[in-house]
Amino acid sequence: MAVPGLKDWSISFAGCGFMGIYYLGAISCILERFPRFIEGASKIYGCSAGALMAAILTLGIPLDKCCSDLMFMAKEARKHRLGPLHPAYNLMQIVQDSLLASLPEDAHVRASGRLCVSLTRVPDGKNLIVSEFSSRNDLIEALICSCFVPLYCGVIPPTYRGVRYVDGAASDNLPRCNENNTVTFSAYAGESDICPRGSILNFHEVRFNNVSIQVNSENVYRVTSTFFPPRSWILQAMAEICNSGYMDALRFLKENSKNIICL
C-alpha cells in the first residue's frame, strides 16, 4: 500500500479491459473531491486499458466522452454470438478510432515526460515503459500496442517504432507498484490502494505480473468481464461498477485524509 506524503507521488493503473468503467468512477470521485491528487502527480503510469485511463487523465479528456466510448465498445461486442472474438468485431480499430477522435493535436507534447505506458516487446518478452512521444501518432501507436492481447485482439501484433509489441500486462501489469510513492489502482479486489473491497475471510490471492488479485467469486466475475462483457450488462449494471469505483476512491481519500491534506 502506498500513500502520498509531502514528496512527489505517482499513480499507476493496472490493465482491466472492459472493467475500465470502474476507473471512471474512481477518477470522477477524486476529480470532484480532491483534484490536486491528479494534477500534482509527477507520473501517471498505465497498462492496457489502464494506459488509456492514464492518457485520459494526463490530457484532461472529459470522462463522459470516455464513458460513452467504453459503453459503445461493450455494446458492439455484445451484438455478436462470440462477443469480442467474432471476426466482425475489431476492438483495436474501435480503440484507435476513439483515440483519433479524442486526442488533441499536441497530445504527444502534453503527454511526454508524465504519461508512462507499459509495453511488452515481442522478440524477447521484456517490458518497456515509454514516456517520451515524438508525435501524436507515436503516442497512439504506443497505446494501441499496450492494449493488444495476442489472439484475443488478433494474430499479428502491432508495431511501435518498427518493433512489435503486445499488451504490457504480459510483463508488467501495474508499473512501479513497488515504489513507496506510487498509488495503485486495480479493478480487482486485492492489495492495490484503490480497488474493490475483498472479503476479510479470504486469505488466498494470486499475483499477475504485479497485480494482487484475491481468489473469490466476485473477482472471477470481474476477470471474466474484463474480456467478455456479459450480455446481461445494461446501463444499470455498468453504473453499479462505476459507482463501486467512486465509493472505493472515496474510502481511500477518507482513510488517508491526514496525509493527502498536505499535498
Catalytic annotation, pick one of 10, 48, 118, 192: 48
Q: Is 234 exposed, middle or buried (0-12, 13-18, 19+ CB in 10 A)?
A: exposed
DSSP conformation letters of 125-168: --EEEE---SSHHHHHHHHHHHH--BTTTBSSPPEETTEEEEEG
Catalytic annotation, pick one of 118, 146, 167, 244: 167
Give catalytic status of residue 167 as yes or no: yes
Distance CA 91, CA 109 (A): 27
Give catalytic status of residue 106 as yes or no: no
Which residues are the active-site residues? 48, 167
